[in-house]
Amino acid sequence: LEKKIAFLEGRIPQKYPEVQYLGYKERKRILVTGGAGFVGSHLVDVLMIQGHEVIVVDNFFTGRKRNIEHWFGHRNFELIHHDIVNPLFVEADEIYHLASPASPPHYMQNPVKTIKTNTLGTINMLGLARRVGAKILIASTSEVYGDPMVHPQPESYWGHVNPIGPRACYDEGKRVSETLAYSYAKQEKVSVRVARIFNTYGPRMHVSDGRVVSNFIMQALQNLTITVYGNGKQTRSFCYVSDLVDGLLALMASSYSLPVNIGNPVEHTIEEFAVIIKNLVPGCRSTVATGAAVEDDPQRRRPDITLAKKELHWSPKVSLQDGLQRTIDYFKEELSRTTFYNNQTY
């Protein structure tokens, strides 16, 4: 018997991150689709620590069990391996609908699937919200503004999207997601929140994510050429992941139901960004090279966050310098535990 007990103890985690105790009136059951991904897993951590019951639904297309494994076995936590393109029957008070690939190489890999996830998947989640009376937050994107003709971008701007270009599966998928949200709100009285998320970065991005932050940091850490696509004059504004999570929580809690930009308005050209990263990696010997431009690459992007400040009393707190330092430390660790095989990372 003693042997059996010792065997079990070895397998049941002895300690989880500490969670608050919430009474049954305050404790909510919260569904997070895409909760094993980069943003979703950080959101799950905060919701769990606040003391809520959290259900993660993920098909692990770009997410990883490792991002949430520290909660496995906790009585407030449940993981469902499920593709949201198929209907889902669970009970929830709130839904954070984040499931969708976010990195251009990932969402372009299977454009039809990206469209299905953002259309059929969103219909399934809105239908679930209607059935159980849950409030639902849709993770939309700055990509709904396309290659914008208005700068910085306020929520009132309708965008400039090529409907048949390589990014359309994602951009138009998210635009339909928003349309679906407001159709369900009007017709079925579902309580919706829409976050237009701008470029976000931080720990738990995948080393092969393919977005600019992970590419540049991985290249700088290995003294490889930093690959700027096009002339590098295109701009982006980068938000640290904890700031984004705070914004999503504030939006869900608010009574404001129209789309809200969540992002950091500090804007840099991609060329400048390459140099910033190179300078933050001690002893980096990488050179910065420009190359072929990417088709339909948005040329300028910066959120106007006046609305988020007014309605959510939210603005980002983490500086680019601090956020990048934390992200570089994370990628250093990832690099030390990553196996490279046939140019693939595992």
Active-site residue numbers?
A: 170
211 binds ligand UDP (CB under 6 A): yes
Q: What single-letter amino acid sits at 25?
A: K
Cβ-based nearer residue to ligand NAD, 84 or 218: 84
With b for 16 or more beta-carbon neighbours within 10 A and e for fewer, the 91-113 pattern comes to: ebebbbbbbbbbbbebbbeeeeb
Residues in Cβ contact with 143 at an 8 Å cutoff, skipping those fewer than 6 apart: 161, 167, 170, 171, 174, 298
Contact positions with ligand UDP (CB under 6 A) in 285-304: 294, 297
Residue 52 contact, options ligand UDP, ligand NAD, none, Cβ 5-8 Å cut-off depending on partner type: none
Report how far residue 236's alpha carbon sits from residue 251's, in angstroms, rounded to the nearest whole number: 23
Binding mask 183-222 for ligand NAD (x = CB under 6 A): --------------x-xx----------------------
Query: Per CB under 6 A, which region of 50-58, 177-185, 227-235, 336-344 contacts ligand UDP?
Result: 227-235
CB 204 within 8 A of CB 41: yes
Residue 229 contact, options ligand UDP, ligand NAD, none, Cβ 5-8 Å cut-off depending on partner type: ligand UDP
- Please pick, from the candidates 42, 206, 236, 278, the single residue that binds ligand UDP as defined by CB under 6 A: 236
Residue 215 contact, options ligand NAD, ligand UDP, none, Cβ 5-8 Å cut-off depending on partner type: ligand UDP
229 binds ligand UDP (CB under 6 A): yes
168 binds ligand UDP (CB under 6 A): no
User: Residues binding ligand NAD: what is the number (CB under 6 A)?
Assistant: 27
- Please pick, from the candidates 19, 85, 150, 224, the single residue that binds ligand NAD as defined by CB under 6 A: 85
CB 33 within 8 A of CB 92: no
104 binds ligand UDP (CB under 6 A): yes
Report how far residue 11's alpha carbon sits from residue 73's, in angstroms, rounded to the nearest whole number: 10
> Environment class of residue 28 by beta-carbon count within 10 Å: exposed (0-12), middle (13-18) or buried (19+)?
middle
Tokens representing residue 331 in the block? 């990628």
124 binds ligand UDP (CB under 6 A): no
Q: How many Cα atoms sit within 13 Å of 246 on the Cβ side?
A: 16
Report how far residue 124's alpha carbon sits from residue 132's, in angstroms, rounded to the nearest whole number: 12
Cβ-based nearer residue to ligand NAD, 26 or 60: 60
Report how far residue 338's alpha carbon sits from residue 236's, in angstroms, rounded to the nearest whole number: 28
Binding stretches for ligand UDP (CB under 6 A): 104, 199, 211-212, 215, 227-229, 234, 236, 270, 294, 297
Binding stretches for ligand NAD (CB under 6 A): 34, 36-40, 58-63, 83-85, 98-102, 117, 121, 139, 141, 197, 199-200
